[in-house]
Structure 1
Amino acid sequence: MNIELLLFLILIVPLIISGLIWFLKKDLKILTSIHLGGAIIEAILGLAAVASVVNGKTYFIFDQMLFLDAVGGVFVTLIAITGVLVNIYSIKYMQWQVESAHITEKDVKLFFSLSHLFIFTMTFSVLANNIVLMWVAIEATTLSSVFMVAINKGKKSTESAWKYIVICSIGLAFALYATVLLYSAGFSVINDSHSTMLWTTLMSHAKEINSDALKLIFVFALIGFGTKAGFAPTHTWLPDVHSEGPAPASAMLSGILLKCALLGLVRYYAIVGNSTLGFEFVQSVMIVSGLLTVFVAALFLIKQHDVKRMFAYHSIAHMGVIAVGLGFGGFLGIFAALFHTLAHSFTKALAFCVTGNIQKIYGTRNMEKMGGMIKIAPITAILFGIAVCSLVGVPGFAIFVSEFYIIQEAISSGGYIPVALFIIGLIIIFIADFSHYNLATFGQSKTEVQCGEVERKANAPLIALAALIIIFGIFTVDSWVSLLNSAVKIIIGV
């Protein structure tokens, strides 16, 4: 298939599926079939597009306003794989919610429609070469996902949805300032209104752009996109939103959305790094931001017994890990940061979907009231354990690989104090997580168990996620490594 047509299709298909679900009658069998079929088609198209840029090629459509390069390919991979597996899980999860009268069939229809619209906005943000369109798309991800968070219509979920809109919109206003300032600084060099908005053109003229302006631009971009990505201290929306939304929505928000916001920051990181400033400035800022984020999350994790809030704080912690990787920089550090986006995407999608199982089994999110999961629901307990082991960086799981590379780059570059602080933060997270995991998995349950192990259809996509976590933790996936190598070369301007 022609790559230009393919890029068009990965944008238009989610919109078509969303519209179909929206306008069809409330027949759950038909809606479920379209939702499932659409998710699979979107994943196939996305991975087919990524295959075209593995070796570093770049393709443009719509007068270069949209494009796909290896950097974007990394994030399209997350949208394709994590998106399809979470959407498959959402079918059984929504069925449970309807059966328990938490939501209606009308709500399911809305959720399925919004999930594909959400896929569209995230894909649009990744494919945007025009920096204004990228900002618009990232802002649109908030609007398309906020109603997914508030689908239960409860007081807490509604409050968290409002908090999500307000804080992220204010944060993204700083990203808009960065966009306007970058356009202004770039136009004085490029002198063409269309080309000045293109990230590829700005990258090629980075050394000519005023260095003092770029410092301010990057700080604004960090505040703006960092708010949406969950960096401290503007992370406060994230624990509420990720804990109150339905499990599939939380999985999509944590597993994919945060990375799309991060991509916006990476685009600015690359421009400033390839300017006369070099990477020293952006790396220093990212190390400070990353370590602050890791420690804030680690300290909150110590006393966190709500399983969804625990995983929400892990979202913050691991965005900090990615920031630290970008902060140490170098080829290996950036490679590790990009690797971590995939490792964390699979792991957090698994983690939040497992909380859907746990809530059905126990009827509570409080791990102090759980217990005996290994006997009551052994498959869920094992999946829960795989998620926790990966999140804390146990060898043999995907996240260990990227964290090991980050530490290796830090030591080789002489960043002994930052890497020591980084390791301390990871140790705190390790201890906190396993103490919580033991509460839920072993001992006696302190609440009435609602049911035993969930259906095989519900666990199938979770088993697939767990398998991917182990595969990427043990084996070298050549195509993925080639894609990452190509992406790093683009970022560092090689």
Structure 2
Amino acid sequence: MDIQQLLYLLMVLPVIASVIIWFLPTNYKALSSFHILGSIVTSIVGLLAVSKVIDGQTYFIFDEMFFLDSLGAVFVSLISVTGLLVNLYSVKYMQWEVQKGELTVKDTKLFFSLFHLFVFTMTFSVLANNIALMWVGIEATTLSSVFMVAIHKSKKSTETGWKYIIICSIGLAFALYATVLLYSAGFNIINDSHSSMLWTTLMAHSKEIDPDALKLIFVFALIGFGTKAGLAPTHTWLPDVHSEGPAPSSAMLSGILLKCAILGLIRYYAVVGNSLAGFEYVQSLMIISGLVTIFIASFFLLMQHDVKRMFAYHSIAHMGVIAFGLGIGGAVGLFAALFHALAHSVTKALAFCVTGNMIQIYGTRDMTKMGGLIKIAPITAILFGIAVCSLVGVPGFAIFVSEFLMIKQSIVNGLNLEVTLFIIGLIIIFIADFSHFNLATFGKSNSKVLTNELPLSANLPLIGLASLIIIFGVFTIKPWFALLHNAVNIIMGI
């Protein structure tokens, strides 16, 4: 099977899976079985497609409106790997929800169907070469995921869903302005309506486009895609949405969706950076955005006792870390930012799925009412510890690698004030996280324990995520590093 066929399948399979699940009988075993089958097949196709571009090739479909290059393949990898493991966990989680009477089997049918539609919209945005279609795809991720967030139909979840739609749509309106302005600026040079919408063509002509126009365009893109990615100060939707939805939807939103918005921003970062406006301009904006985001999130983390809101603020903080990596720039800074996208993806997916276990054990999200997790459910406690250790950058875990590279390169670049502030933000996050971790894991339980250790079927996908965190934190995975290096070259226009 050639790469073009794989790309067609990658876009079509999630839609087919979503439609089939929608029309299946309301039987949980049938729904969950096909949900798993659809996830496995889609992920295999995604990884096969990624394997074709590891060495730097680029392939196009649909008259060059969609494509896969090494940069896009980084994010297809996240969708394929993290998405599969979260989908496997979601089967057991949704079964618990049905058993508790929180949801009906009909609700789970909707949830599983939307899950695959959500995967389609993220894949669509990642593969889009046409900048307008990329914007459409990222906007569509909101519409496909909002009902997953509000699946419980309570007053709070409904309000959260509306907040999600309104803030992200208003934010993405700025990204639409950036899209229109970039098309207009490109058309003045390229003089072809089709080519002027293609990111690859705009990259090739970036030095000919008016640099003043591109500076304004990047500001709009930063506001627009930054809203969707959870960068401050337009991050306010994220803590509510990530804390209110079911654990698997929170894992997908934080682990993958935010990275799709980051990719949209990186596409504009590359065009403007390679123009006469220069990388110095975009890097300055990204450093400011990153540091502001890290500090706002870190101080809110100190006050969080709701385990899901704690991890939601972590999502904001680590989007700030990625922005800081883009602000450092150069081969090392960009490599670290992209590596951080993967490290955060698997770490945050594990973190939110672990909260699903903890809520099942204690019946609450309040960590002040938890305690003794290490004795009650030792496997869950270890998985919780791995997630927290990675999130705070403990050596030997995936996130340490990217944060270490960022600190090292900042010092090399002479960004002494910036790296000092960056380290202070990370220290605040470290203190907040371990105080909460100790409270829940080793403290005294103040609530009734509903169940002890959960079955292997629930923990196995989480063990897979934890293994990836350690593997990427300890070993050099040559194909992955080659993919990242080629992605960095694309961003730098090499």
For this structure pair, what is the TM-score category when the shorter chain's length is used for normalisation?
over 0.9
Q: In the alignment, does 2:383 pair up with 1:369?
A: no
Give 1:392 shift: 0.2
What one-letter code is carried by the residue in structure 1 that aligns with 2:352? F
Query: What is the aligned partner in structure 2 of residue 173 from structure 1?
Result: 173
- 1:105 corresponds to which residue? 105
Q: Note if contact 1:242-1:308 (Cα within 8 Å) is conserved in structure 2.
A: yes
Displacement of 1:347 in angstroms is 0.1
**1:419 maps to which residue?**
419
Structure 2 partner of 1:380:
380
Aligned positions of 1:114-263 closer than 5 A: 114-263=114-263
Looking at structure 2, the residues matched to 301 and 243 of structure 1 have their Cα atoms a distance apart, in angstroms, of: 13
Q: TM-score, normalised by structure 2?
A: 1.00
> How far apart, in 1, do the equivalents of 2:58 and 2:366 lie?
48
> Match for 1:384: what amino acid?
F
Question: Are the aligned partners of 1:98 and 1:104 in contact in 2 as well (CA < 8 Å)?
Answer: yes
Unaligned runs of 5+ in 2: none
Q: Aligned partners of 1:488, 1:101: CA distance in 2, in Å? A: 48
Question: Equivalent residue of 2:55, what SS?
Answer: coil
1:15 aligns to what?
A: 15
Matched, 1:356 2:329: no
Q: Distance in 2 between matches of 1:330 and 1:486?
A: 13
Give the match for residue 470 of structure 1.
470
Q: Cα deviations across residues 130-183 of structure 1 (Å, max 9, x unaligned)?
A: 000000000000000000000011111111110000000000000000000000
RMSD: 0.4
Q: Give the letter aligned to residue 94 of structure 1.
A: M
Aligned-pair CA distance for 1:218: 0.1
Q: Say whether residues 1:34 and 2:46 are aligned partners.
A: no
1:269 paired residue number? 269
Identical-pair percentage: 73
Q: Which residue identity lines up with residue 118 of structure 2 in the other structure? A: F
Counterpart-to-counterpart distance in 1, 2:454 and 2:154: 25
Q: Identify the residue that residue 318 of structure 1 maps to in structure 2.
A: 318
Write out the 4+ residue segments of structure 1 that deviate beyond 2 Å after TM superposition: none
- Opposite residue 43 of structure 2, the aligned amino acid is A
SS at match of 1:101: coil
What SS does structure 2 have at the residue aligned with 1:233? coil
In the TM superposition, what whole-angstrom CA distance separates every residue of 1:16-52 from its partner, at most 9, and x where no partner exists? 0000000111011111111000000011000000000
The SS at the match of 2:194 is helix
1:56 corresponds in structure 2 to 56
Aligned to 1:86: 86
Letter in 2 for 1:50: V
Determine if contact 1:330/1:409 at 8 Å carries over to the other structure.
no
Output the CA distance in 1 between the equivalents of 2:371 and 2:29: 36
Q: Taking structure 1 as the reference length, what is the TM-score of the superposition? A: 1.00
**SS in structure 2 of the partner of residue 193 of structure 1:** coil
Q: Distance in 2 between matches of 1:199 and 1:21?
A: 35
> Contact (CA 8 Å) 1:189, 1:209: kept in 2 or not?
yes
- Between the aligned partners of 1:156 and 1:250, the Cα distance in structure 2 is 16
Q: Distance in 1 between matches of 2:147 and 2:443?
A: 38
Per-residue deviation, residues 185-204 of structure 1 (Å, max 9, x unmatched) = 00000000000000000000
1:340 and 2:340 aligned: yes
Aligned equivalent of 2:482: 482
Letter of the 2:334 counterpart: I
Structure 2 counterpart of 1:232, one-letter code: A
Aligned mates of 2:456, 2:469 — CA distance in 1: 20
Question: Per-residue CA shift, 1:420-468, capped at 9, x if unaligned?
Answer: 0000000000000000000100122000011101111000000000000
2:386 and 2:24 mapped to 1: Cα distance?
Answer: 39
Q: Which amino acid is 2:153 matched to?
A: K
Structure 1: 5+ residue runs without aligned partners? none
In structure 1, the residue corresponding to 2:54 is in which secondary structure?
coil
Q: Show the counterpart of 2:394.
A: 394
Name 1:443's counterpart in structure 2: 443
How many pairs does the alignment contain?
Answer: 494
- Secondary structure class of the residue paired with 1:60: strand
Q: Which residue of 2 aligns with 1:279?
A: 279
Matches of 1:118 and 1:26, distance apart in 2? 21
Give the whole-Å Cα distance in 2 for the aligned partners of 1:484 and 1:70.
Answer: 7
Give distance in 1, aligned partners of 2:398 and 2:158. Answer: 34
What letter is aligned with 2:379? Answer: I
1:268-291 deviation digits (Å, cap 9, x = unpaired): 000000001110000000000000
